Amino acid sequence: MVNTEHASLYLHPDRNLGMELVRATEAAAIRAVPFIGRGDKNAADGAAVDAMRKFLGTVDFDGVVVIGEGEKDDAPMLYNGEHVGSGRGPSCDIAVDPIDGTSLTANGRQNALSMIAVADRGSMYDPSAVFYMDKIVTGWEGHGVVDLRQPIGENIRALAKAKGKDVADMTIAILDRPRHAGLIDEVRAAGAGTRLMLDGDVAGGINAALSETRIDMCVGIGGTPEGIITACALKALGGFIQARLHPKDDDEAQKAIDAGHDLERILGVDDLVTSDNTYFVATGVTDGQLVGGVRKMGPKIRTESIVLRGKSGTIRRVVAEHLAEKWL
């Protein structure tokens, strides 16, 4: 019996917006290269923002930035609420991070990315200015097995069993922050290893959901915007995420309650992004486990990107060579 939904997808292929958006992340990554290791993260970010915005203007969609560089008064470009794209085509929410890891870039460290996430208009979660959330991310094996409310040791043992691995072979990615000292100790006490990240828990979450990486789980308190972006990527990967808002102080907690948020609510992937029509694109600025960084090779510039599409569950890796003289 023919699955008519799947047959329709192939008989009437629709446009893959991600393959157009990747040009914007490539441009941002390339423009950031002169600032790698130069100690000026603001200059690197400024160059990437300018390049990304220019290329987004060529894409046929009506995008509204819901996660961007900040409020309009503080961010002249790619600010929250700004319309991007040609204005023709689908109406979308867009989350942008021209450089995820500006400090990594400025210090010449690994794992800096340029990234964009897109979903149908109105489908991305509004955290009402709560900047942090507690998160746990795994691959598909975590569904029905892992729970944010359980102790981390229990989650590691349960996931190891589901993956058919020994606990000693499990690797848990965690942002290297003072707030995670106790969590790191608990992971190690459970018998698992840690991968401490200087920055960039989006890449950590995606790596946890990809089958070919050494990371099995990404946990800890990180940015709420990053949690929403990660959820867009997980739609294509079939991965698992749970999150809970983590206000930084009583004032932020009260604002969240006043906005109607339940601070004890566990948010799943469909709460963070209600649409399955999502795209996630990222290009490496510096080398990392998810993608390689920009490389100058004689007259060519080489970029490596990943393009994830939720609707089709497709992972594409895009390696491009750009004539360097066109970027001078």
Q: What does DSSP say about strands 113-120 and 279-284: parallel, antiparallel, or unpaired? A: antiparallel
Give 165's strand partners: none
Distance from C-alpha of 137 to C-alpha of 158, rounded to nearest angstrom: 14
Q: Any known ligand binding at 226?
A: yes
3-state secondary structure of 65: strand
Q: Any known ligand binding at 69?
A: yes
Do 176 and 197 form a contact (C-beta atoms < 8 A)? yes
Distance from C-alpha of 45 to C-alpha of 266, rounded to nearest angstrom: 33
Distance from C-alpha of 242 to C-alpha of 173, rounded to nearest angstrom: 15
Q: Which of 129, 127, 123 is nearest to 63 (CA)?
A: 123
Residue 284's alpha-carbon distances to 22, 50, 233, 293, in angstroms, are 11, 17, 16, 4
Q: Any known ligand binding at 265?
A: no
Q: Any known ligand binding at 100?
A: yes
DSSP annotation string for 141-167 = GGTTT--TTS-HHHHHHHHHHHHT--G
Q: Any known ligand binding at 126?
A: no
Q: Any known ligand binding at 295?
A: no
Do 226 and 130 form a contact (C-beta atoms < 8 A)? no
Q: Any known ligand binding at 149?
A: no
Q: Which of 318, 322, 319 is nearest to 308 (CA)?
A: 318
Q: Any known ligand binding at 317?
A: no
Q: Any known ligand binding at 14?
A: no
Q: Any known ligand binding at 45?
A: yes
The dihedral over CA atoms of 189, 190, 193, 194, expressed in degrees to the nearest 10, equals -70
Q: What is the DSSP letter of 19?
A: H
3-state secondary structure of 111: coil
Q: Any known ligand binding at 179?
A: yes
Q: Give the helix/strand (H/E) hosting 96.
A: strand 91-100
Which residues belong to the annotated binding site? 45, 69, 97, 100-102, 132, 177-179, 199-201, 223, 226
Which residues belong to the annotated binding site for substrate? 100-102, 132, 177-179, 199-201, 223
Which residues belong to the annotated binding site for Mn(2+)? 45, 69, 97, 100, 226
